[in-house]
Amino acid sequence: MKNRNILYVIALALLAASCSSAQGPTGDPVSPVQGLPQGTDGYPWWNDTVFYEIFVRSFYDSDGDGIGDLDGIIEKLDYLNDGNPATNTDLGVSGIWLMPIHPSPSYHGYDVTDYYAVNPEYGTLEDLQDLIQQAHQRGIRVVIDMVLNHTSSKHPWFVEARSDPDSGKRDWYIWSGSDPAYAGPWGQDVWHFSPGGYYYAIFWDGMPDLNYTNPDVTAEMQDVVRFWLEEVGVDGFRLDAARHLVEEGTVQADTAATHAWWEGLRPFYKTISPDAMLVGEVWTDLGAIAEYVQGDELDLAFEFDLAQAFMDSALEGNAYSAAGQVKLTSALIPGMSFAPFLTNHDQERVMTTLAADPEKARVAASLLLTAPGVPFIYYGEEIGMQGGKPDEDIRRPMQWSGQLYAGFTSGVPWRAPGEDYQAYNVANETRDPNSLLSHYRNLIALRNQHAALRVGELSVVRSTDVALYAILRVGAGEAILVAINLGDEPVSDYSLALDGSPLAAGTYLSASLMGPQSSARLVVAEDGGFSAYTPLAKIQPYTTLILQLGK
């Protein structure tokens, strides 16, 4: 047990005292599917997975009402992964994360009104189970967004709690008779007036926080977790606002009680489904993130500093940020228990951040998909979709073709597609071997085929040119060297060096997995290090070089 303060112990006791309470609706559980991969070299299955984040409302509309739906995702599963490793027309991802699918009064769904149901705009519980079944048949696992920190203010629990101070649901939320008058972590109002008193809601007044010092709340949300794992058959959860779960007075993030709650949940959900995966949104600095993934809380956490470093290096054409941060992340989070990404549904899209430069987007993809950890791709990034604030424009319909409304719907879409959809779309880029989509497909295929790119130990290689990012991945019986010219000029007067690595001493030749073939010999010293290595006389701008090393 971690050495945390007394509130940590209290929270553990509350969790231990709770038991499964009200039973949610039941559905027909998805049958286990044999043959899904279980992990390489002792790592869990998710370390062999590339995930794809889907906003259901915007992915594909199957019925013409202008809103994406679960049946639409089923129709497009072969685009994500057709289940045949011999083909190269699919993206090759083996995991999908569905943004909120529960009933909600909002378009985004992060204010839930029923934790045991599917948003009727997206389909039914049976549709979701069909999606999971068909995804499993293609080797794709499915995780869903789970919003445990707060409910909608329109959730029946909160409606009852607000209207009746004597209700049993009153203490499911956090109340004060007077305004405590302190702000939230980013200066926002967190105490909101109602006729029955002030209630706490860290994000806005439409999302009141649940009170996890109440064992009944813990018991209920445990049952929610059990329902989706056991009755529905999802493979895990993406946890929204994971660092804000339990407040300790004015301390509203990363509290000891929050860590304790997640630590207590772990044996509960692992008993139900030992292979279930929890990935947390812990949007903060790396040191705080590392606390959540020490083997007794979450399985993974998104690494926001690494995402920023990848984007900075791609934008600036300078390897310093990416090389430094990937090294630091790998050192502070052992076991590759982190999830790298480029941007997500809350952030300006990759192409917009990178000034609509597809070459910079290509090298950003190379940084992500050769890195350690479990990569996540936001839908549409692979074709170069653009989008900035407001959030609705970051979550526009997927651009499938140059047809009306980007081929997303036969009706009128809930949001207009991006203006550039006739240039950047799946149909166009599928036919172009040099497109951004083809680059993503090739990178994912290499990651799927070469275990060293998934679970190989990382060594950051020094380069004498600031534009050249280089890493070595060694593991699962192979060694792979990655060199990426992030700049817009050729790199010619350079060399690579490494002080030590898991490589055995000797002389190595290389086979090119991506980029030009190298005939240079790599001489490795007894400590696994090398110096003055120049794989190519010249590395062209925005080139990704992936070399498999062998004696």
- Write out the catalytic residue numbers: 240, 281
Distances, alpha carbon 299 to alpha carbons 290, 291, 339, 412, in Å:
11, 11, 10, 40
- Beta-strand ranges (E) seen in 225-265 are 236-239
Q: Helix 304-316 to helix 320-332 angle, to the nearest 10 degrees?
A: 160
Distances, alpha carbon 350 to alpha carbons 307, 315, 387, 402, in Å:
11, 10, 8, 21
Classify 267 as helix, strand or coil: helix
For residues 110 and 118, the answer to whether their CB atoms sit within 8 Å is: no
Omega of the bond leading into 120 within 30 degrees of 0 (cis): no
What one-character DSSP code corresponds to residue 47?
G
Beta bridge partners of 209: 150
Q: What is the CA radius of gyration of the chain?
A: 24
Q: Helix 6-17 to helix 215-226 angle, to the nearest 10 degrees?
A: 60
Whole-angstrom distance, CA of residue 440 vs CA of residue 360 = 13
For residues 194 and 162, the answer to whether their CB atoms sit within 8 Å is: yes
What one-character DSSP code corresponds to residue 231?
I
For the chain, how far is it from start to end, CA to CA, in angstroms? 46
CA angle 123, 206, 162 (to 5 degrees): 105
Beta bridge partners of 150: 209
With 0-12 / 13-18 / 19 or more C-beta atoms within 10 angstroms meaning exposed / middle / buried, residue 89 is exposed
Instruction: Give the closest residue to 345 by CA, choosing from 309, 404, 409, 398.
Output: 398
Classify 194 as helix, strand or coil: strand
